Amino acid sequence: MDSRTVNLKSKLEVYKAMTDGGNIADCPVRDVIQGLNGKWSSLLTAALAEQPYRFGELRRLVPDISQRMLTQTLYDLQRDGYVRREVFPTKPPSVEYSLTDLGRSMFDALQYLLQWAENNHDAVRGARTAFDSTQA
């Protein structure tokens, strides 16, 4: 077996033991990853990895995100400790978002997946097309 292979059965047993036989929904990997799998989370994290942005700048950077979704996604990323929200005492008050140390450490890992997705986008789309043609 490849040393990089994860033995899921063993991990699930460890998670159950950690939670005294509790629900597998308490799995730490699932708990952490679920906050990153939203439609906008990785895109906003990638933007904030470049530099801090104000809300309006993020809205213009990602024009197809609604104001409500941008607000909710930033809130969720902030809640998980990846994003810092800083309010400046201007009139009107301005707000800037940036990655925390935890957010930067998470992005260090995430950027490999993002690069893989970019490199393999055509192959994945081709596989989908081939699969869909066999299902028709």
Q: What is the model's pLDDT at position 38?
A: 83
% of the chain with per-residue pLDDT over 90: 65
Contacts of 100 (CB under 8 A, 6+ apart): 81, 82, 83, 84
Helix (H) or strand (E) holding 61: helix 55-61
Please count the residues of the chain: 136
pLDDT higher than threshold 60 for residue 3: no
Contact 41, 77 (CB under 8 A): yes
Report all structural domains of the chain as residue ranges with CATH numbers, in order of start: 7-37 (no CATH), 39-120 (1.10.10.10)
pLDDT of amino acid 37: 81
Check pLDDT > 80 for residue 8: no
pLDDT tens-digit map of 43-97: 999 999 999 999 999 999 998 999 999 999 999 999 999 999 999 999 988 999 9
User: Which residues are bridge partners to 94 per DSSP?
Assistant: 88
pLDDT exceeds 60 at position 1: no
